[in-house]
């Protein structure tokens, strides 16, 4: 029986104050001795999603699978602290915003050390291309197998829109802002929507990534030799954010509140829109948490210059350099990341976030009828238009996020710098780092 453990570790890892590991083995020992136990550091909902597949592995090979579950906000410190201490960890949940950093300092064994390129190509052919891409570093190393393709969606209160005379969700951001103004003016809402624009956190990066791409911009040029987020598109995006903050469509509290803590106004029926990760669906349809259970609906994020875009989160599971047996951990990983694991994700996420293409195509998609899994249709479109943050390729992404970009973004949103000044300063600092350190 797979054992599920809950624990707390008081040690936090800040930055990269830990030693570099070798990052894998040139040759895997063969045959690998079968371990008695394999330990997984997991997101706190993942035993529900992937536990059945891991149980099949356990029953087949007689190896105990131990789950150590944590909320997302604790995973980074649990992983890095455990590996630094030499704790036997076999697999861990690797966010797609971590692989370049953790892989770069040897805190994961690249799968290229355990299988040939041809074997990995055959193994990953079933996944959406972008889900393999978001676990692959710029030098071609694959750091894990995809587990979830989390996406940011556009949720709306259909009953509130109907009361305002709208039977369809807005197609453009300008339409969304106009509906927001009407809802606020008529006393139906306090705000239009409540994004997480905090400094020093991933939420601010996620939300700016969406605005930057919708305005037609990119973080870097195609060959990744120059940062370009201070382009006209970037300046327009940050200016737009500042204007809707000053107008009150977005609350000032957005500068201090994360995406994991800002959705309560929406669930209380006090704002018409929510741009957030798909976990919102489960909360919005839970009568113990939400007053809009029968009113919540989902649609693609409204357009600006670019017609459609969303940013992907999620990630996969990686093999720790402190694994008891990387070869057996790799075998367990393949069990967990097969079709049954992806089905578990879709069941938990309203039909969204699965990583395997066949589950979104006939006949397998028929297992997820739209009346039961309303996010399937939206996700089928999202996965085709989705993109990634610079965490995908920057091995110094935490430095970029915490000390270069989001503080500059905040200065502009607070009015202490113009959007152009703030982005130019951030670009100059990021470019100096890139020129000195590379990707």
CATH number at residue 145: 3.40.190.10
The answer as to whether 277 is a domain residue is: yes
256, 364: one domain: no
Q: How far apart are the first and last CA of the chain?
A: 43
Query: Which whole number is the average pLDDT over 365-392?
Result: 94
Q: Which domain holds residue 306?
A: 155-311+392-437
3-state secondary structure of 386: strand
Distance of CA 176 to the CA centre of its chain: 24
293, 430: one domain: yes
Count: domains in the chain: 2
From 346, 366, 387, give the residue that closes a domain.
Answer: 387
pLDDT band at 45 (very low <50, low <70, confident <90, very high): confident
Residue 92: C-alpha distances to residues 32, 318, 328, 347 (Å): 20, 5, 14, 22
- Written as six digits, the tokens of 397 are 């992404």
Residue 219: C-alpha distances to residues 7, 228, 234, 309 (Å): 38, 5, 9, 15
pLDDT > 50? residue 29: no
Higher per-residue pLDDT: 425 or 100:
425
Sheet arrangement for strand 315-319: 3-6, 64-70, 37-43, 91-95, 315-319, 145-148
Q: Give the integer Cα–Cα distance in Å for 393 and 304.
A: 26
225, 268: one domain: yes
The answer as to whether 217 is a domain residue is: yes
Confidence (pLDDT) at 8: 31
Interstrand relation of 37-43 and 91-95 (parallel, antiparallel or unpaired):
parallel
3-state secondary structure of 291: coil
pLDDT > 60? residue 218: yes
Smallest CA-to-CA distance from 58 within 348, 328, 346 is with 328
Confidence (pLDDT) at 185: 98
Query: Which whole number is the average pLDDT over 285-313?
Result: 96
Helix or strand run (H / E) with residue 431: helix 419-437
CB of 115 closer than 8 Å to CB of 123: yes
Query: Which whole number is the average pLDDT over 375-382?
Result: 94
From 387, 402, 424, give the residue that closes a domain.
Answer: 387
Smallest CA-to-CA distance from 213 within 197, 231, 226 is with 231
- Interior CA angle at 276 toward 270 and 278, to 5°? 110
pLDDT > 60? residue 39: yes
How does pLDDT run across 118-159, given as a tens digit for each residue? Answer: 999 999 999 999 999 999 988 899 999 999 999 999 999 999
The answer as to whether 317 is a domain residue is: yes
69, 168: one domain: no
The answer as to whether 329 is a domain residue is: yes
355, 431: one domain: no
Confidence (pLDDT) at 19: 36
Q: Give the integer Cα–Cα distance in Å for 356 and 333.
A: 15
Sheet arrangement for strand 296-299: 273-277, 152-157, 296-299
Residue carrying structure tokens 């008529």: 186
Residues 6+ apart with CB under 8 A from 198: 204, 254, 255, 256, 257, 258, 406
pLDDT > 80? residue 368: yes
CB of 137 closer than 8 Å to CB of 267: no
- Interior CA angle at 36 toward 144 and 31, to 5°? 65
The answer as to whether 93 is a domain residue is: yes
CB of 221 closer than 8 Å to CB of 431: no
Virtual torsion, Cα 83, 88, 93, 96, nearest 10 deg: 40
Smallest CA-to-CA distance from 318 within 154, 80, 126 is with 80
From 347, 368, 387, give the residue that closes a domain.
Answer: 387
357, 382: one domain: yes
Give percent of the chain with pLDDT exceeding 70: 93
Confidence (pLDDT) at 31: 52
335, 194: one domain: no
pLDDT > 70? residue 294: yes
Q: Give the integer Cα–Cα distance in Å for 426 and 422.
A: 6
293, 369: one domain: no
3-state secondary structure of 359: helix
The answer as to whether 26 is a domain residue is: no
pLDDT band at 26 (very low <50, low <70, confident <90, very high): very low
The answer as to whether 16 is a domain residue is: no
pLDDT > 60? residue 40: yes
139, 165: one domain: no
Query: Which whole number is the average pLDDT over 350-364?
Result: 96
Strand-pairing partners, residue 69, are 6, 42
Highest-pLDDT range among 112-121, 255-264, 335-344: 112-121
210, 70: one domain: no
Write down the pTM of the prediction. Answer: 0.89
Query: Which whole number is the average pLDDT over 75-102?
Result: 95
172, 297: one domain: yes
The answer as to whether 22 is a domain residue is: no
Query: Which whole number is the average pLDDT over 293-312?
Result: 96
143, 47: one domain: yes
DSSP classification of residue 34: P
Q: What is the average pLDDT value for the chain, to the nearest integer?
A: 91
């Amino acid at each position: 029986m797979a054992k599920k453990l809950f624990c707390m570790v008081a040690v936090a890892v800040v930055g990269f104050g830990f030693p570099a590991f070798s990052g894998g083995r040139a040759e895997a020992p063969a045959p690998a001795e079968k371990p008695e136990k394999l330990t997984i550091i997991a997101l706190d909902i993942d035993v529900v999603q992937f536990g059945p597949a891991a149980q099949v592995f356990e029953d087949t090979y007689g190896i105990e699978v131990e789950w150590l579950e944590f909320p997302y906000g604790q995973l980074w410190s649990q992983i890095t602290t455990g590996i630094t201490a030499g704790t036997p960890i076999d697999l861990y949940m690797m966010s797609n915003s971590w692989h370049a950093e953790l892989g770069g300092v040897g805190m994961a064994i690249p799968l290229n050390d355990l299988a040939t390129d041809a074997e990995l190509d055959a193994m990953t052919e079933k996944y959406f291309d972008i889900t393999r891409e978001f676990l692959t570093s710029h030098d071609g190393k694959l750091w894990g197998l995809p587990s979830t393709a989390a996406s940011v969606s556009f949720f709306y209160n259909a009953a509130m829109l109907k009361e305002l005379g709208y039977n369809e969700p807005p197609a453009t951001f300008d339409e969304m802002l106009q509906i927001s103004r009407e809802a606020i003016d008529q006393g139906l809402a306090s705000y239009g929507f409540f994004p997480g624009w905090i400094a020093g956190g991933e939420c601010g990066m996620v939300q700016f990534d969406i605005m930057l791409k919708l305005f037609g911009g990119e973080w870097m040029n195609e060959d990744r030799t120059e940062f370009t987020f201070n382009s006209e598109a970037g300046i327009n995006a940050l200016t737009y954010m500042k204007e809707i903050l000053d107008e009150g469509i977005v609350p000032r509290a957005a500068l201090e509140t994360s995406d994991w803590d800002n959705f309560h106004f929406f669930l209380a029926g006090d704002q018409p829109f929510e741009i957030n990760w798909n976990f919102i669906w489960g909360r919005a349809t839970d009568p113990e948490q939400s007053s809009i259970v029968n009113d919540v609906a989902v649609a693609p994020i409204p357009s600006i210059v670019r017609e459609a875009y969303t940013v992907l989160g999620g990630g996969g599971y990686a093999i720790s350099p402190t694994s008891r047996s990387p070869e057996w951990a790799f075998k367990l990983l393949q069990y967990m990341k097969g079709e049954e694991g992806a089905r578990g994700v879709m069941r938990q996420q309203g039909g969204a976030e699965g990583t395997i293409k066949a589950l979104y195509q006939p006949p397998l998609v028929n297992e997820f009828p739209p009346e039961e899994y309303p996010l399937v249709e939206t996700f089928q479109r999202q996965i085709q238009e989705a993109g990634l943050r610079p965490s995908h390729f920057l091995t110094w992404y935490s430095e970029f996020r915490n000390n270069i970009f989001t503080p500059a973004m905040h200065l502009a949103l607070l009015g202490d710098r113009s959007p152009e000044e703030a982005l130019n300063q951030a670009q100059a600092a990021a470019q100096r780092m890139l020129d000195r350190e590379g990707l």
